[in-house]
Amino acid sequence: MDRREVLGKVASLGGAFALLGAAALTSPVEARRGGGGGDRIRKSFRMFTVGSGAASRTKGKAEIEARLSRGREKFKVEVESLGLTDGTVVNVFARKAGGESIFVEALTLHSLPRSPRKVKAELELDTEHGDDLPASVSPVTDNTEVSVQLAATNETILTTTRG
């Protein structure tokens, strides 16, 4: 890939990311470009509790990252709760602007050794480590919302959009 192609992709990715920032992912904790000639885009988002997520003292965060020069994409979601139990299954979904929520992966919450009342699960899909991203999630910078649902009831308990 020559410099002109990389710059063209960075420009289009930057435009998509500007749309992303203006769209539903409304709470960036961190956003930066850096390293590798400015082709790295990374954004972290706090997730908001909805429904029984507040009562179960559940919290989470989502992170997306793209590095064009390496063809790298990363999609990460963390879920933590003091009110859900060990073994609870949650489903992670992503949504692109104007699209349907697309299932990404199921996670099982597990107790933490130092804090058995707290359960946690983490999803990290990173193409640099050989992980495959579902085609519906790639490119990660086109996603406008990430949400987490209880698998047993399909109730949304966390989302990156403020309701």
**Mean of the pLDDT values across residues 144-158?**
95
Find, among 53, 50, 56, the residue nearest to 82 by Cα. 56
Token representation of residue 69: 């020069």
* Domain ranges (residues) in the chain: 3-159
pTM for this model (two decimals): 0.75
Find, among 15, 148, 2, 9, the residue nearest to 89 by Cα. 148
Give the pLDDT of residue 27: 41
For 24-43, write each residue's pLDDT tens digit: 344 444 444 444 457 888 88
* Alpha carbon distance 98, 90 (integer Å): 24
Find, among 134, 103, 142, the residue nearest to 24 by Cα. 142
Give the pLDDT of residue 2: 45
For 115-143, write each residue's pLDDT tens digit: 889 999 999 999 989 998 888 788 888 88
